[in-house]
Protein backbone atom coordinates (compact mmCIF):
# COMPACT_ATOMS: atom_id res chain seq x y z
CA UNK A 1 0.00 0.00 0.00
CA UNK A 2 1.42 3.42 -0.91
CA UNK A 3 2.22 5.79 1.87
CA UNK A 4 0.67 9.22 2.10
CA UNK A 5 4.05 10.95 1.72
CA UNK A 6 3.58 10.90 -2.05
CA UNK A 7 1.77 13.81 -3.60
CA UNK A 8 0.48 11.81 -6.57
CA UNK A 9 -0.26 8.09 -6.73
CA UNK A 10 -0.72 6.32 -10.08
CA UNK A 11 -1.86 2.74 -10.72
CA UNK A 12 -1.71 1.22 -14.23
CA UNK A 13 -4.18 -1.59 -14.92
CA UNK A 14 -4.32 -4.30 -17.60
CA UNK A 15 -5.63 -7.87 -17.65
CA UNK A 16 -3.00 -10.09 -16.04
CA UNK A 17 -0.41 -7.51 -14.98
CA UNK A 18 2.40 -9.24 -16.90
CA UNK A 19 2.67 -7.25 -20.15
CA UNK A 20 1.08 -3.84 -20.58
CA UNK A 21 0.61 -2.47 -17.06
CA UNK A 22 4.07 -3.42 -15.73
CA UNK A 23 5.54 -1.91 -18.90
CA UNK A 24 3.59 1.28 -18.22
CA UNK A 25 4.74 1.23 -14.60
CA UNK A 26 8.39 0.87 -15.64
CA UNK A 27 8.21 3.50 -18.38
CA UNK A 28 6.41 6.01 -16.18
CA UNK A 29 8.74 5.38 -13.23
CA UNK A 30 11.76 6.08 -15.45
CA UNK A 31 10.18 9.31 -16.73
CA UNK A 32 9.28 10.43 -13.22
CA UNK A 33 12.80 9.68 -11.95
CA UNK A 34 14.39 11.57 -14.86
CA UNK A 35 12.14 14.53 -14.05
CA UNK A 36 13.40 14.46 -10.44
CA UNK A 37 9.95 13.61 -9.07
CA UNK A 38 10.60 10.10 -7.76
CA UNK A 39 9.91 11.05 -4.16
CA UNK A 40 6.65 12.74 -5.08
CA UNK A 41 4.98 10.17 -7.35
CA UNK A 42 4.10 6.63 -6.30
CA UNK A 43 3.66 4.23 -9.22
CA UNK A 44 2.30 0.68 -9.26
CA UNK A 45 0.45 -1.69 -11.56
CA UNK A 46 -2.20 -4.37 -11.21
CA UNK A 47 -4.35 -6.72 -13.26
CA UNK A 48 -8.08 -7.18 -13.48
CA UNK A 49 -7.59 -10.94 -12.97
CA UNK A 50 -5.51 -12.91 -10.46
CA UNK A 51 -4.29 -15.58 -12.87
CA UNK A 52 -0.65 -14.39 -12.88
CA UNK A 53 -0.41 -13.18 -9.27
CA UNK A 54 3.18 -13.28 -8.04
CA UNK A 55 4.70 -13.77 -11.49
CA UNK A 56 7.35 -11.58 -13.10
CA UNK A 57 6.41 -9.62 -16.20
CA UNK A 58 6.43 -11.58 -19.44
CA UNK A 59 10.00 -12.16 -20.64
CA UNK A 60 9.21 -10.47 -23.96
CA UNK A 61 8.01 -7.36 -22.13
CA UNK A 62 11.15 -7.38 -20.02
CA UNK A 63 13.38 -7.75 -23.09
CA UNK A 64 11.69 -4.90 -24.95
CA UNK A 65 11.85 -2.64 -21.89
CA UNK A 66 15.48 -3.58 -21.19
CA UNK A 67 16.38 -2.51 -24.75
CA UNK A 68 15.33 1.00 -23.67
CA UNK A 69 17.06 0.92 -20.31
CA UNK A 70 14.01 -0.03 -18.24
CA UNK A 71 14.23 -2.90 -15.77
CA UNK A 72 10.95 -4.70 -15.03
CA UNK A 73 12.47 -7.79 -13.39
CA UNK A 74 11.63 -6.77 -9.82
CA UNK A 75 7.91 -6.28 -10.52
CA UNK A 76 5.36 -8.94 -9.55
CA UNK A 77 1.82 -9.34 -10.82
CA UNK A 78 -1.09 -8.66 -8.53
CA UNK A 79 -4.81 -8.20 -8.89
CA UNK A 80 -6.51 -4.87 -8.28
CA UNK A 81 -8.33 -4.68 -4.96
CA UNK A 82 -10.85 -2.48 -3.20
CA UNK A 83 -8.14 -0.50 -1.40
CA UNK A 84 -6.57 0.62 -4.68
CA UNK A 85 -9.50 2.96 -5.24
CA UNK A 86 -8.63 4.73 -1.99
CA UNK A 87 -4.85 4.44 -2.21
CA UNK A 88 -4.35 5.91 -5.70
CA UNK A 89 -5.25 9.23 -7.27
CA UNK A 90 -5.24 7.85 -10.82
CA UNK A 91 -6.25 4.38 -11.99
CA UNK A 92 -5.04 4.24 -15.57
CA UNK A 93 -6.56 1.53 -17.77
CA UNK A 94 -4.62 0.24 -20.76
CA UNK A 95 -7.77 -0.49 -22.79
CA UNK A 96 -11.52 0.00 -22.70
CA UNK A 97 -12.23 -3.44 -21.18
CA UNK A 98 -10.00 -2.58 -18.21
CA UNK A 99 -11.72 0.77 -17.80
CA UNK A 100 -15.14 -0.92 -17.79
CA UNK A 101 -13.92 -3.38 -15.15
CA UNK A 102 -12.67 -0.52 -12.98
CA UNK A 103 -15.91 1.42 -13.43
CA UNK A 104 -17.90 -1.66 -12.36
CA UNK A 105 -15.80 -2.00 -9.18
CA UNK A 106 -15.48 1.64 -8.17
CA UNK A 107 -16.86 2.21 -4.67
CA UNK A 108 -19.13 5.10 -3.74
CA UNK A 109 -17.37 8.34 -2.88
CA UNK A 110 -14.23 7.32 -4.73
CA UNK A 111 -11.98 10.29 -5.42
CA UNK A 112 -9.63 8.44 -7.77
CA UNK A 113 -9.71 9.41 -11.42
CA UNK A 114 -10.31 6.49 -13.77
CA UNK A 115 -9.13 6.94 -17.35
CA UNK A 116 -7.52 5.40 -20.40
CA UNK A 117 -3.77 5.76 -20.80
CA UNK A 118 -4.00 6.58 -24.48
CA UNK A 119 -6.17 9.62 -23.70
CA UNK A 120 -2.87 11.16 -22.56
CA UNK A 121 -1.17 10.68 -25.94
CA UNK A 122 -1.77 13.97 -27.69
CA UNK A 123 -0.89 12.92 -31.23
CA UNK A 124 -2.44 9.45 -31.29
CA UNK A 125 -5.80 8.32 -32.60
CA UNK A 126 -5.32 4.92 -30.95
CA UNK A 127 -7.56 4.44 -27.92
CA UNK A 128 -6.40 1.07 -26.58
CA UNK A 129 -2.92 -0.28 -25.97
CA UNK A 130 -3.15 -3.68 -27.72
CA UNK A 131 -2.34 -6.86 -25.82
CA UNK A 132 1.00 -8.11 -27.20
CA UNK A 133 0.79 -11.51 -25.46
CA UNK A 134 -0.17 -13.46 -28.59
CA UNK A 135 1.80 -11.27 -31.01
CA UNK A 136 5.28 -11.41 -32.41
CA UNK A 137 8.14 -9.84 -30.42
CA UNK A 138 7.74 -6.65 -32.45
CA UNK A 139 4.33 -6.21 -30.83
CA UNK A 140 6.04 -5.60 -27.50
CA UNK A 141 8.06 -2.76 -29.02
CA UNK A 142 4.90 -1.32 -30.56
CA UNK A 143 3.29 -1.38 -27.11
CA UNK A 144 6.35 0.34 -25.64
CA UNK A 145 6.10 3.11 -28.25
CA UNK A 146 2.45 3.73 -27.41
CA UNK A 147 3.07 3.66 -23.68
CA UNK A 148 6.05 6.02 -23.89
CA UNK A 149 4.01 8.55 -25.84
CA UNK A 150 1.04 8.41 -23.49
CA UNK A 151 3.17 8.32 -20.32
CA UNK A 152 4.91 11.52 -21.37
CA UNK A 153 1.50 13.15 -21.78
CA UNK A 154 0.35 11.83 -18.40
CA UNK A 155 3.43 13.23 -16.68
CA UNK A 156 2.86 16.60 -18.32
CA UNK A 157 -0.79 16.61 -17.18
CA UNK A 158 0.16 15.72 -13.63
CA UNK A 159 2.78 18.48 -13.56
CA UNK A 160 0.26 21.02 -14.84
CA UNK A 161 -2.42 19.96 -12.34
CA UNK A 162 -0.13 19.72 -9.33
CA UNK A 163 1.02 23.11 -8.17
CA UNK A 164 3.62 21.51 -5.91
CA UNK A 165 5.67 20.13 -8.80
* Cα 116-112-114 angle, rounded to 5 deg: 15
Residue 99: give the domain boundaries: 8-158
Q: What is the pLDDT of residue 1?
A: 47
Q: What is the pLDDT of residue 161?
A: 82
Is residue 164 one of the residues assigned to a domain? no
Task: Point out the residues of the chain with pLDDT beneath 70.
Answer: 1-5, 163-165
Dihedral over alpha carbons 19, 57, 5, 90 (to 10 degrees): 10
Q: H or E stretch including 23?
A: helix 20-34
Is residue 17 one of the residues assigned to a domain? yes
Which residues neighbour 79 within 8 Å (Cβ) at sequence distance 6 or greater? 17, 46, 47, 48, 49, 50, 53
Helix (H, G, I), strand (E, B) or coil at 32: helix
- 83-123 residue pLDDT tens: 999 999 999 999 999 999 999 999 999 999 999 999 999 88
Is residue 2 one of the residues assigned to a domain? no
Is residue 163 one of the residues assigned to a domain? no
Is residue 63 one of the residues assigned to a domain? yes
Which residues participate in catalysis according to the annotation?
A: 14, 20, 131
Q: What is the pLDDT of residue 165?
A: 60
Q: What is the pLDDT of residue 123?
A: 84
Number of domains in the chain: 1
Is residue 13 one of the residues assigned to a domain? yes
Residue 50's φ and ψ, nearest 5 degrees, are -100, 10
Q: Specify the pTM.
A: 0.94
Is residue 3 one of the residues assigned to a domain? no
Is residue 1 one of the residues assigned to a domain? no
Q: For position 106, which CATH number holds?
A: 3.40.50.2300
Rounded CA-CA distance 135/138 in Å is: 8
Dihedral over alpha carbons 152, 126, 76, 10 (to 10 degrees): 50
Burial of 32-47, coded b for 16+ CB within 10 Å and e otherwise, reads beeeebeebbbbbbbb
Query: Which residues on neighbouring strands pair with residue 8, listed in sequence order?
Result: 41
Amino acid sequence: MPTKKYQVRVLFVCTGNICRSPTAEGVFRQMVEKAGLGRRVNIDSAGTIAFHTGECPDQRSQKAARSRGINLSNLRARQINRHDFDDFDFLIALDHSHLKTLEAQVPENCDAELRLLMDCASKSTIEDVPDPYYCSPSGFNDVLNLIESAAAGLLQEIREESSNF
